[in-house]
Amino acid sequence: MRTHTGEHPFSCVHCSASFVMKSHLSKHKRTHVGERPYSCANCDASFVMKSHLVEHTRIHTGERPFICVHCNASFMQKNHLVRHIRTHTGERPYSCVHCNASFSMKGCLVEHMRAHTGERPFSCVHCSASFLRKSHLAKHILVHTGERPFSCSHCNASFTLKHHLTHHIYSCHDKKDP
């Protein structure tokens, strides 16, 4: 009945999360104490919930039980299938409250909202730079580490960004592919 009334009487003492069922609160508490009782038999991964272990195990088995009825694409997780189906239906259920933008994935809306709020949650530990995206921070950190992960197969040149390597190969070696 609580599901229909919206009542969430079981509250976490560590954060603002609340739950309809006491068992859900018990599972949630594990995230605060670091308890991960479900371990993978194939690798060192461990999980708070058994369902997460079941999903993870598919990485090792290759099982992809969720099939798209539109194109037969298969997925390891149901939520990945749901997200994929939106490419066929055009559904964009996540809408910005500030403008007319809408998105097929919640993460894209969250990232978009940062343009309105000015939030830049990914900060460099080496300088004062901050970024909208984690991937932008990762690229920036290469400036500090000196790492150049993209190497030219035609000479000894290496680059921090893949598109710099592509440009180098095109302009210096007259080739179209890296």
Query: Where in the chain are the domains?
Result: 2-33
CA-to-CA dists, residue 53 to 27, 50, 57, angstroms:
14, 5, 6
0.75 exceeded by pTM: no
Question: Quick one: CATH architecture of 2-33?
Answer: 2-Layer Sandwich (3.30)
pLDDT in tens, 11-44: 988 888 888 889 888 888 877 888 888 999 999 9
Name residue 122's amino acid: F
Count of beta carbons in the 10 Å neighbourhood of residue 168: 19
DSSP state of 39: E
pLDDT in tens, 61-117: 999 999 999 999 999 999 999 999 999 999 999 999 999 999 999 999 999 999 999
Name residue 165's amino acid: L
